[in-house]
Structure 1
Amino acid sequence: MGFDEKGNEIPETEHTGKLATEAESGVEKVSNVTRRMSESSIAVTEEEDDDEERKIELGPQCTLKEQLEKDKDDESLRRWKEQLLGSVDMESVGETLEPEVKIVTLAIKAAGRPDIVLPIPEGGNPKGSWFTLKEGSAYSLMFTFQVSHNIVSGLKYTNTVWKTGIKVDSTKEMLGTFSPQAEAYTHEMPEETTPSGLFARGTYAAKSKFVDDDNKCYLEINYTFDIKKDWL
């Protein structure tokens, strides 16, 4: 998901790849979006391999209790850790090394209409078109997630979109580092606008992922969506 309301192609950055339409030689064409594709068509691409190649070698993981014990004589570090951990119940997190992130809800927000609540599919592959967007409309993605067991570092959301077998959109949003807590965290993506016009309409294939600094994937969804003249 990601569209430039002015219809200009934007070089890929941390949050990029807006879907756009442009006129060339008197023919309107889409430089960023797609039709339905088979599962083999949305297999790992060269662009997605970039994340694998950029994996950072991090130090050994520690439990929360071990983290608090480290550098306990450093007052500034101790205060920073207490601020990060907040009111974490140390008895409930125990000695678990691996953090766990659960995506609780996914929704598409658009002004003047009810939110589109997206059911999170078992196995990560919704059947048929997952949702429909109206051409030329502003929207934003909002999700909630829970963190348990340990601190999750560098959690980020990525989304890639294809049309006619070509990658047309790539979005990366760094969410941050989160401590475990009972309450869910909420994050809303920046507002974007779908393209409009005959060649902007159709079915698109996409892949969304939530991963952390260790490249641990907490949710991966392969799906299709439609852009049509109106909301359905």
Structure 2
Amino acid sequence: MSAPHEEDDFAPSNTPGYKVGAAKTVDEYATLDAEDESLARWKASLGIVPGASTPASGPQVSVLTLELASPTLPSGKHLRMDVQSPASLEEVKKNPFVIKEGVEYNVRITFKVNHGICSGVRYMQVVKRAGVKVDKMEQMLGSYGAHPKGEAYTKNFDPEESPSGMLARSGTYHVRSRVVDDDGKVYADWDWSFKLGKDWA
């Protein structure tokens, strides 16, 4: 169970004027604005057609992997964790990723929508060092329906630059990641760690 102050770290930012709409079923979305041909084609490409809804079973959204990508990464090197694997997550906590200081990198997440339509899905992460919050990221994934071919979606977040300097390189950064929707439903919540180094390791 999370401590109350940790939950405050994950309070989503509110966009002025934005109001969360009421949840709808796939069939309701399929018949919405049915006279708009281009919208109907787009919805059909996502598998949103009348009568296409299937009985809900299992989690609506499954987060598969989280990856750190950078044009400066050596060829063939991957910093990727399997969010579905407890062993993979434990490994990243025990042996943190090493990110090269002062380089551009981005977070990349792969996920599947198993049924229905999820609205306003976002990725959030809080980074702490020695128990003190040093960074918070909040990135919108968007709204998705189950892929008609059962395939996963991949989202690349905005690039950022890793800190540099001796102080930044000291210590381990502990990260808590979470994927939530507009209704506050948590689809994934996990911990991992990274360090900064003079080079990728």
Q: Normalized against structure 2, the TM-score is what?
A: 0.76
Structure 1 runs not aligned, ≥5 long: 1-38
Instruction: Check 1:123–1:81 CA distance in 2 against 1; reply closer, same or farther (3 A cut).
Output: farther
Q: Which residue in the other structure is 2:117 paired with? A: 151
Deviations 1:155-175 (A, max 9, x none): 111111112222110111111
For residue 213 of structure 1, the aligned residue among 182, 187, 191 is 182
Q: Which has the higher contact order (CA 8 A, sep 6+)?
A: 1
Aligned to 2:184, the other structure's residue is in SS state coil
Equivalent residues, number:
189
159-168 vs 94-103, which moves further: 94-103
For residue 84 of structure 1, the aligned residue among 23, 36, 43 is 43
State the Cα distance separating 1:229 from its structure 2 match: 2.4
Instruction: Check 1:180–1:119 CA distance in 2 against 1; reply closer, same or farther (3 A cut).
Output: closer
For residue 94 of structure 1, the aligned residue among 42, 54, 71 is 54
Partners of 2:3 and 2:95 lie apart in 1 by 16
Partners of 2:199 and 2:122 lie apart in 1 by 31
Is contact 1:109–1:140 with CA below 8 Å preserved after alignment?
Answer: yes
Partners of 2:4 and 2:193 lie apart in 1 by 10
Calculate percent identity across the aligned residue pairs: 29
Runs of 4 or more consecutive aligned structure 1 residues displaced over 6 Å after TM superposition: 39-43
State the Cα distance separating 1:81 from its structure 2 match: 5.1
Q: Which residue in the other structure is 2:166 paired with? A: 198
RMSD over aligned CA atoms reads 3.4
State the Cα distance separating 1:189 from its structure 2 match: 1.4
Q: Which residue in the other structure is 1:9 paired with? A: none
Q: Which residue in the other structure is 2:101 paired with? A: 135
Is contact 1:84–1:179 with CA below 8 Å preserved after alignment?
Answer: no
Deviations 1:28-48 (A, max 9, x none): xxxxxxxxxxx9899715332
Bigger radius of gyration among the two: 1
Is contact 1:64–1:95 with CA below 8 Å preserved after alignment?
Answer: no
Structure 2 runs not aligned, ≥5 long: none
Instruction: Check 1:229–1:40 CA distance in 2 against 1; reply closer, same or farther (3 A cut).
Output: farther
Q: Normalized against structure 1, the TM-score is what?
A: 0.67
